[in-house]
Amino acid sequence: MQAYTARAHTNIALLKYWGKANEQLIIPTTSSISLTLDEFYTDTTVVFDQHLNEDAVFLNDAPLTGKGYKKITDFLDIVRQLAGISTKAHVQSTNHVPTAAGLASSASAFSALAGAASKAAGLDLSLADLSRLARRGSGSASRSIYGGFVEWERGTDDTTSVAHPLQEVVDWDIQLLTVIINDQPKKVDSRGGMQHALQTSPFYQNWVDATNAATVDMKTAIENHDFQKIGSLAEQNALQMHATNMTATPPFTYLTDNSWAVIQLAAQLRSKGIEVYATMDAGPNVKLISHISDYHEIVLALQSVLPDVETVAATPGPGLVVVAGDEI
């Protein structure tokens, strides 16, 4: 059978997905809105091979085992079921993003896998169906099918819980300056973290209500290129999400002292008239929503707080690309 290779970029949520209404189908408790990034992506090649007795999965040239392997074989089972085949697959994936560090590797990974595996299995899915499929691997992956600003509508079932683009071409001045505080895998994965917050934080419902209330405002702000509104809504939503973790039983947090130093720096810069807002996911790394034109000033300020910290300036990136063969 023909091999296919896909490239999908990561996306960072401006309004977060943090909790599942249906764990098996990955239906979220809220809609979420994200920006796909150009600098971080995953390349994945899939071929279904009659000679294999089990799926062979390689991530960054090392065989994937355990829980990570099971996530991929479970996902391939969904693809096989859709295609009406039982053949096992060879999967080779390369992350151009730190894995499991809160930089959305699962989003680019399962978006790329949905694209490559569905084509390799002989399916020809629409972008909406690819989004639904990617969602089954990792919720945030539903949004990485598209470039630019994307909304994943919560929905109520497999058909209605799907992402769609809000603004695919972003031709105005916005960047996500990623401050790499720790690129090593986190201890509590996103899946476990959000489940724990949902089940035990008395503030969880407040977070759902606040996210729902912010959704229309965020969409209007994106439409109007209203940078300040996008940034302030995003920062507030991120802090509200992290508050559900800190108020869980037992409490936990992904944020470190250095994360807080960067969050505080963003506030200081704002007081000096530089528009910069912070958002954080399931990891200590902070993404600074800022203007490309302020890059040097922000990096200089960062160096005074965290001298050797690595930064990656990411701008809006494209949607999923799938090609025949094993090169992209």
Interface ranges with ligand DP6 (CB under 6 A): 13, 16-18, 26, 32, 104, 106, 138-140, 190-191, 281-282
286 strand-pairing partners:
179, 280
Which part of the chain contacts Co ion (CB under 5 A), choosing from 23-31, 118-126, 159-167, 184-192?
Answer: 184-192
Least distance CB 207 / ligand DP6 (angstroms): 12
Cα separation, 268 vs 260, in Å, equals 12
317 φ/ψ angles, rounded to the nearest 5 degrees: -115, 175
By beta-carbon proximity to ligand ADP, the closer residue of 95 and 167 is 95
Please report, for residues 19, 210, 211, the alpha-carbon distance to residue 204 in angstroms, rounded to integers and kept in the order given: 9, 10, 11
**Contact 61/190 with Cβ under 8 angstroms?**
no
> How long, in residues, is the chain?
328
Binding-site member from 31, 34, 45, 106 for ligand ADP (CB under 6 A): 106
Cα separation, 196 vs 198, in Å, equals 5
Cα separation, 32 vs 225, in Å, equals 18
List the structure tokens of 262: 């960067």
Indicate which of ligand ADP, ligand DP6, Co ion, none lies near residue 111 (CB less than 5 to 8 Å, by partner kind): none
Does the footprint of ligand ADP cover residue 141 (CB under 6 A)?
A: no
Cα separation, 75 vs 109, in Å, equals 12
**Contact 78/106 with Cβ under 8 angstroms?**
no
Binding mask 18-57 for ligand ADP (x = CB under 6 A): ------------------------x---------------
By beta-carbon proximity to ligand DP6, the closer residue of 5 and 138 is 138
By beta-carbon proximity to ligand ADP, the closer residue of 34 and 167 is 34
Indicate which of Co ion, ligand DP6, ligand ADP, none lies near residue 115 (CB less than 5 to 8 Å, by partner kind): none
Which part of the chain contacts ligand ADP (CB under 6 A), choosing from 23-31, 101-109, 124-132, 158-166?
Answer: 101-109
By beta-carbon proximity to ligand ADP, the closer residue of 99 and 206 is 99
Binding mask 74-113 for Co ion (x = CB under 5 A): --------------------------------x-------
Task: Scan residues 171-210 and list those touching ligand ADP (CB under 6 A).
Answer: 189-190
Angle (CA) 166-115-211 rounded to 5° is 35
Cα separation, 132 vs 142, in Å, equals 6
Please report, for residues 248, 260, 316, the alpha-carbon distance to residue 284 in angstroms, rounded to integers and kept in the order given: 18, 9, 22
Question: Dihedral of the CA atoms 227, 273, 282, 214 (nearest 10)?
Answer: -40
Does the footprint of ligand ADP cover residue 237 (CB under 6 A)?
A: no
Contacts with ligand ADP, residue ranges (CB under 6 A):
42, 59, 68, 71-72, 93, 95, 99-107, 109, 138, 189-190, 281-283
Contacts with Co ion, residue ranges (CB under 5 A):
106, 190
